[in-house]
């Protein structure tokens, strides 16, 4: 029974030593701080819309036509008749949508009448103003793992260390075996 306990103890000791060697040989991870610059701009757009509305115009112009008065009734009647004939030919009117005008000569009232109607007008102006209000600059440190391959010297020393530990473990087992005579 003592023999098996010593045997298991020796094997456990060797396993612990080997695991310590492998854990100890693994290199610690190295990190590098890398600065990252983040910029963000906030844009602000303002729109200004101006609307000018002109109201509709409804206009009327009446101009009396003065009768000829030279003192000669024959000449006055001829002149007045000719003026009435000429002005009667001016009667006209036009319509376009809500806009219209009309020119007429009223023989009875002896007057020239002008009527006009202009629709409402609307002017729109839009001005857009863009401003960059804020620029936010943030610096963040991001850890980046450096992966560096092992050099030939490091690999050689690792193999040499493992071989040395195996040799020392073998010599320890042989030494214990010879001294205790528990193993046959």
- pLDDT confidence of residue 54: 81
For the whole prediction, is pTM greater than 0.75?
A: no
| Domain range summary for the chain, segments of one domain joined by + | 1-27+150-184, 56-119
Question: What is the DSSP secondary-structure string of 134-156?
Answer: EEEEEEEEEEEEE--PPPHHHHH
What order of strands is seen across the sheet that includes strand 92-96? Answer: 57-64, 111-118, 99-106, 92-96
In tens, the pLDDT along 2-50 reads 566 667 677 776 676 666 666 655 555 555 656 565 566 666 667 777 8
CA distances to 56, 94, 123 from 117, in Å = 7, 10, 19
Identify the top-confidence range among 109-123, 142-156, 170-184: 109-123
| Contact of 140 with 133, CB cutoff 8 Å | no
């Amino acid at each position: 029974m003592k023999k098996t306990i010593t045997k298991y103890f020796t094997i456990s000791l060797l396993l612990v030593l080997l695991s310590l060697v492998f854990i100890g040989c693994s290199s610690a991870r190295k990190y590098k701080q890398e600065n990252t610059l983040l910029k963000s701009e906030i844009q602000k757009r303002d729109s200004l819309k101006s609307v000018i509305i002109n109201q509709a115009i409804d206009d009327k112009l009446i101009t009396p036509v003065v009768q000829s008065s030279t003192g000669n009734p024959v000449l006055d009647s001829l002149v007045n008749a000719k003026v009435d004939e000429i002005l009667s030919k001016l009667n006209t009117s036009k319509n376009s949508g809500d806009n219209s005008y009309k020119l007429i000569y009223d023989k009875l009232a002896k007057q020239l009448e002008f009527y006009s109607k202009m629709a409402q007008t609307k002017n729109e102006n839009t001005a857009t103003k863009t401003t960059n209000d804020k620029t936010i600059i943030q610096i963040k440190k991001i850890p980046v793992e450096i992966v560096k391959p092992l050099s030939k010297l490091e690999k050689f020393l690792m193999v040499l260390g493992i071989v040395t530990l195996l040799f020392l473990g073998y010599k320890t087992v042989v030494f214990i075996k010879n001294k205790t005579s528990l193993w046959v």
